[in-house]
């Protein structure tokens, strides 16, 4: 038995530090095998759902695509003109292809962190491997979709993303379910490695179902002068979602930025945060969180900045908008300074839409409803994600549709 | 000046208003004829902004008595946006910040069609990049004022209200803003609220009123009233034998 399996076995029953504890045994592991299928030929219902999380069926606008349904990889391909510059495949294929994959497997996330990481090791269902080769600037985004087609399924993916030195890459990933799926569990391990002078921008869009549980576990290692930008957008109701990704800014002058837009509707329980550890001299981090709660949603918006080295600096901004008296938002910004030369700050504001904002817009001719909707859409402004124009327009369309339905 | 049919653009009769239980307007009568521009003078706290907010219909300004007519239509109980649709436009003195809502979005809505935003912004000396800025976020005092005036310029209302468009605006921009307001008002009616009267160097007003303690106490020729205020201050207005006293 491999060492990570042994480690995982010990954590099999270990509840996570945060979020409702789940009995992982109540989900089914029994999934049919899906055969190879180009994204352009995906069944229409699947294509439509994946488009709503930013994964396109026409490959023209993407440098490469990975598509997984349940436990099967149905498509993985790099466009011809990007061959030799970037790679995309299942982590299963990557582990078979490269010996050195072991150096990236369970390295920034521990297999024994909790029962979910243990589950991902013991009952592993692929996931994607994406890599930008040294010195390559990938001009189009790559995309990956993790799709669940069967009700009550448990899907445990393990992803590895590597930006080799001096490379630059944009990735958009969408996780979603078939309209027939109500319940289920998605566990996603993601390990990021951003090497010297590389820049990785990772945008993840989630679109789950009301009785679905989600437990992503993410770690990132940011080396000298490297930049890790990560965006997270969660738009549809989910039963429970708990994640607390960590970025280690280990390198000198390394940079990390976490931006999230959480839209909590229905009975959603969202416990989402990020942690950044500033370990390299001159490292910087920025966290921007937007949480919007309606219906009976409960949102915990966390953020932790840890300064361990001199000449480091980080800021955390958390804003919450409460649209219902039955919902709540709990913002928990935390700062830990371990050396004198670190400068950490945060600001948090939670509340309802200000009357004066509505009245101001009404004085510009908007009706009360239009004003509210404009403010909500503005609150979820995807401009904060800092994406390339084309990608921003795509995601704006997705978010606007949700925001319009909020009022 | 007066035309035969509904000669008044704005007519306010015996308007009394309270905010949070405190009376801020006490029997205000005001008539602005079509094509006229009136100026409202008064010290801080005299009720100028309250009058404007009441004309707009802000809900926290509770009307105790009286009525407000716009072009002959009773708007006393209408919502803010209904009044705006009937042709009132306003440049506020202070405005809230609204993240994610761009100035350009509001301008497009006000215009009701495609506009050359950059050109319009230039008319009040604002950079085109302001169109993509979040509303009022990080605007300086002068930029706020110019953005407010710009919104009214784009709206082209039949009745325009400017609340202290000259405060916090530097001399150079005052000329630009004043000129823009004057151009807009050439064929329209309006109400200018000013504390110090600088804007009158650029805008020709037909009539001026002085407000004190929620009442209009004096009306007359703008230049005359302004020079009197400049000479003797509002303190004198309070003692003026000609001032209209409460009934």
Task: Supply angle C-alpha B35, B227, B195, rounded to 5.
Answer: 70
pLDDT at A336 over 70: yes
Helix ranges (H only) for A159-240 are none
Out of A365, A381, A383, the one facing B81 most closely (by C-beta) is A365
Q: Is residue B94 within 8 angstroms of chain A, CB to CB? A: no
Instruction: Give B208 to chain A, closest Cα distance, Å.
Output: 25
Task: For an interface test with B, give the residue of A362, A399, A406 to mutate (most B CBs within 10 A).
Answer: A362
At residue B197, the pLDDT reads: 86
How far apart are alpha carbons A299 and A304 in whole angstroms? 16
Q: List pLDDT tens digits, range B207-221.
A: 999 999 999 999 999
In A229-270, alpha helices (H): none
Looking at every residue in chain B, the average pLDDT score rounds to 90
Q: A337 in contact with B at a CB cutoff of 8 Å?
A: no
DSSP β-bridge partners for residue A258: A230, A287
Q: What is the pTM of this model?
A: 0.87
Question: Is residue B40 a part of any domain in this protein?
Answer: yes
3-state SS, residue A40: helix
In a domain, B244, yes or no: no
pLDDT at B129: 92
**pLDDT of A365 higher than 50:** yes
In a domain, B165, yes or no: yes
Residues of chain A with Cβ-Cβ distance to B95 below 8 Å are 360
| Count of all residues that appear for chain A in the document | 407
Tokens of A71: 């436990």
Contact A368 B79 (CB under 8 A): yes
Give the residue-averaged pLDDT of A309-332: 96
Task: Spell out the domain ranges in chain A.
Answer: 3-354, 355-407
Q: Which two tokens stand for residue A81?
A: 């003109």
Cβ contact (<8 Å) for A365 and B96? Answer: no
What pLDDT is attached to residue B41? 93
Q: Say if the Cβ atoms of B84 and A364 lie within 8 Å.
A: yes
Residue of B nearest to A356 (CA): B96
The string of pLDDT tens digits covering residues A266-285 is: 999 999 999 999 999 999 99
Mean pLDDT, to the nearest integer, of A250-260? Answer: 97
Q: Where are the alpha helices (DSSP H) in chain B?
A: 48-56, 80-85, 103-111, 117-123, 141-155, 171-185, 222-239
- Start-to-end CA distance of chain A, whole Å, equals 54
The rounded distance, in Å, linking the Cα atoms of B211 and B209 is: 7
User: Touching check for B20 and chain A: CB below 8 Å?
Assistant: no
Contact criterion met (CB below 8 Å) for A374 and B101? yes
Q: At residue B2, does pLDDT exceed 60?
A: no
User: A405 has which bridge partners?
Assistant: none
Q: pLDDT value at position B162?
A: 96
Which residues does chain B have within 8 Å of residue A362's beta carbon, measured at their own beta carbons?
A: 79-81, 84
* CATH number, domain with residue B204: 3.40.50.300
Confidence band for B1, pLDDT divided at 50, 70 and 90: very low
**Residue B43 token pair:** 């010290």
Q: Which of B79, B95, B105 sits opposite A362 (nearest CB)?
A: B79
* Mean model confidence pLDDT for chain A: 95
The tens digit of pLDDT for each residue in B27-63 reads 999 999 999 999 999 998 999 999 999 999 999 999 9
- Is pLDDT above 80 for B184? yes
Residue B2 lies in a domain: no
In DSSP terms, which residues pair with B208 in a beta bridge? B39, B220
Return all residues near B43 (Cβ < 8 A) that are at least 6 apart: B195, B212, B234
State the residue for tokens 């996931």. A127
Residue B168 in domain: yes
In degrees to the nearest 10, what's the CA dihedral of B130, B52, B93, A377? -40
Q: Is the pLDDT of residue B247 over 50?
A: no
In a domain, B161, yes or no: yes
The answer to whether residue B15 sits within a structural domain is: yes
Contact: B99, A378; criterion CB under 8 Å? yes
What is the tens place of the pLDDT at every residue in B72-120?
A: 999 999 999 999 999 999 999 989 999 999 999 999 999 887 788 888 8
**Number of domains, chain B:** 1
Kindly state whether residue B35 falls inside one of the protein's structural domains: yes
Mean pLDDT of A41-52: 91
* Residues B176 and B142 sit within 8 Å (Cβ to Cβ): no
Please tell me which of the candidates A356, A362, A379 has its beta carbon nearest to residue B96: A356
Structural domain including B48 reads 8-239
In this complex, do B80 and A359 lie within 8 Å of one another by their Cβ atoms? yes
Predicted local distance difference test score (pLDDT) of residue B245: 63
Torsion of CA A381, A385, A389, A391, to 10 degrees: -100
Is B56 part of the contact surface with chain A (CB cutoff 8 Å)?
yes
Q: State residue A395's pLDDT score.
A: 84
Q: Which pLDDT band holds residue A381 (cuts at 50, 70, 90)?
A: confident
Q: How many CB atoms lie within 10 A of CB A247?
A: 28
**Mean pLDDT in residue range A176-196:** 97
Q: How confident is the model at residue B6 (pLDDT cuts 50, 70, 90)?
A: low
State yes or no: pLDDT of A136 exceeds 80: yes
């Amino acid at each position: 038995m491999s060492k990570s399996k042994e480690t995982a076995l010990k954590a099999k029953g270990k509840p996570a530090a945060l979020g409702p504890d789940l009995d992982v045994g109540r989900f089914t592991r029994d999934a049919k095998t899906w055969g190879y299928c180009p994204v352009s030929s995906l069944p229409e219902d699947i294509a439509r759902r994946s488009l709503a999380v930013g994964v396109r069926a026409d490959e023209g606008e993407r440098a490469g695509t990975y598509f997984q349904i349940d436990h099967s990889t149905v498509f993985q391909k790099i466009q011809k003109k990007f061959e030799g510059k970037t790679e995309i495949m299942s982590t299963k294929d990557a582990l078979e292809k490269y010996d050195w994959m072991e150096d990236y497997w369970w390295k920034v996330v521990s297999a024994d962190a909790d029962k979910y990481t243990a589950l991902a090791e013991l009952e592993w269902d692929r996931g994607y491997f994406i890599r930008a080769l040294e010195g390559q600037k990938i001009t189009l985004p790559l995309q990956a979709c993790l799709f669940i087609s069967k009700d009550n399924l448990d899907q445990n993916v393990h992803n590895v993303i590597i930006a080799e030195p001096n490379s630059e890459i944009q990735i958009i990933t969408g996780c979603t379910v078939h309209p027939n799926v109500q319940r289920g569990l998605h566990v996603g391990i993601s390990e990021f490695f951003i090497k010297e002078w590389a820049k990785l921008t990772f945008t993840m869009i989630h679109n789950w179902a009301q009785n679905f549980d989600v437990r992503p576990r993410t770690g990132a290692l940011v080396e000298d002068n490297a930049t890790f930008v990560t965006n997270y957008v969660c738009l549809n109701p989910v039963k429970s979602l708990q994640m607390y990704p960590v970025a280690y800014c280990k390198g000198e002058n390394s940079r990390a930025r976490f931006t999230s837009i959480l839209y909590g509707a229905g009975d959603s329980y969202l416990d989402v945060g990020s942690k950044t550890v500033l370990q390299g001299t001159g490292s910087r981090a920025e966290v921007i969180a937007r949480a919007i709660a309606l219906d009976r949603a409960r949102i915990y918006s966390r953020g932790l900045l840890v300064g361990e080295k001199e000449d480091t600096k980080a800021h955390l901004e958390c804003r919450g908008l409460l649209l219902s008296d039955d919902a709540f938002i709990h913002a928990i910004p935390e700062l830990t300074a371990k050396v004198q030369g670190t400068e950490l700050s945060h600001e948090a504001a939670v509340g309802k839409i200000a009357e004066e904002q509505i009245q101001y817009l009404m004085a510009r001719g908007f009706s009360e409803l239009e004003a509210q909707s404009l403010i909500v859409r503005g609150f979820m402004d995807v401009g904060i994600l800092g994406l390339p124009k084309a990608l921003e327009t795509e995601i704006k369309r997705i978010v606007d549709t949700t925001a319009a339905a909020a009022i | 000046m007066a035309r035969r049919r509904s000669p008044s653009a704005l007519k306010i009769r015996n308007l009394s208003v309270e905010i949070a239980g405190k009376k801020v307007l006490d029997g205000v009568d005001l008539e602005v004829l079509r094509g006229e521009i009136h100026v409202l003078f008064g010290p801080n706290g005299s009720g100028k902004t309250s009058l404007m907010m009441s004309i707009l219909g802000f809900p926290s300004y509770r009307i105790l008595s009286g009525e407000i007519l716009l072009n002959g239509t009773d708007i006393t109980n209408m919502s803010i946006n209904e009044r705006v649709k009937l042709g009132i436009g306003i440049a506020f003195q202070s405005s809230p910040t609204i993240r994610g809502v761009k100035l350009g979005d509001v301008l497009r809505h006000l215009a009701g069609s495609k506009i050359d935003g950059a050109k319009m912004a230039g008319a009040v000396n604002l950079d085109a990049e302001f169109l993509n800025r979040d509303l009022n976020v990080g605007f300086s005092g002068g930029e706020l004022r110019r953005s407010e005036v710009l919104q009214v310029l784009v709206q082209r209302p039949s009745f325009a209200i400017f609340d202290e468009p000259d405060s916090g605006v530097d001399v150079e921009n005052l000329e630009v803003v004043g000129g823009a307001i004057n151009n807009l008002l050439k064929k329209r009616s309006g109400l200018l609220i000013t504390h110090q009267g600088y804007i009158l160097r650029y805008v020709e007003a037909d009539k001026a009123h002085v407000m004190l303690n929620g009442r209009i106490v004096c009306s007359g020729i703008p230049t005359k009233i302004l020079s009197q205020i400049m000479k003797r201050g509002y303190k004198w207005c309070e003692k003026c034998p000609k001032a209209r006293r409460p009934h």
